[in-house]
Amino acid sequence: MTTVSNTPAPAPRWAVRAAHATALTTVPSGLWRIALALGAPVGYGDQVLRHDFHIPGWGMVYVIGLSVVSEAFALLTLGLVRPWGEVVPRWIPFIGGRRVRPLAAVVPAALGALALVLLWTDLVFWWNSDEQPPMLGPWHTIVGILYLPLVLWGPLLAAVTVSYYRRHR
């Protein structure tokens, strides 16, 4: 007698690698923002920091928080290739131990991927834009390079989401 397993196949190796790459896309820009918040000379003069970014001040909390939240969202991609994306960890109140319905993961991930593509695609044109405050020395180029991995965040998340969907339908 043959039995049919309800357990989905493990994530393909490419999807696991793409999920890890997704988690890394936010690191360079996040580290730059944290350095900016802590007062390191990373491209902006004191006038811009004080008036545009409110650093020092509440702008520090905002910039560091943005970096932490961005990385946390990027790390959620790992749930699409790990067991905790299939069964909610037991330590989570009320829903711990329950199976994750595939659409409960796929719909937010797909919408997130679309939003990220719309949000970050313009970074490809960073060097042609005059909308940023003036940066000192070579920092305009350096910051452009540090932010460029964000362009990959949406497409990588989309690819991992499609893989998750295919394994769970």
Question: Residue 4, Cβ neighbours under 10 Å: how many?
Answer: 4
Structure tokens at 149: 């991995």
Domain boundaries, the chain: 13-168
pLDDT by residue (tens digit) across 138-150?
888 888 899 999 9
C-alpha 157/C-alpha 15 separation (Å) is 9
More reliable by pLDDT, 62 or 169: 62
Sign of the Cα pseudo-torsion (92, 98, 102, 103, in order): negative
> Residue range 105-130: average pLDDT?
88
Look up residue 144 and give its two tokens.
């452009």
Structural contact between residues 97 and 142, judged by C-beta atoms closer than 8 angstroms: no
Q: What is the pLDDT of residues 19-40, one digit of tens each?
A: 999 999 999 999 999 998 988 8
Q: Which residue's entry shows tokens 């719309």?
A: 118
Q: Give me the pLDDT at residue 169, please.
A: 84
d(CA 139, CA 71): 23
For position 1, what pLDDT does the model report?
46
CA atoms of 119 and 112, how far apart (whole Å): 10
Nearest to residue 77, comparing CAs of 15, 148, 3? 15
- Count of CB atoms within 10 A of residue 140's CB? 16
pLDDT at residue 87 tops 90 = no
More confident position, 132 or 40: 40
Give, in order, the Cα–Cα distances in Å from 120 to each of 9, 32, 55, 62, 98. Answer: 32, 17, 24, 19, 34
Dist CA 26 CA 24 (whole Å): 6
pTM here is: 0.86
Report the number of secondary-structure helices (H) and strands (E) in the chain. Answer: 7, 0
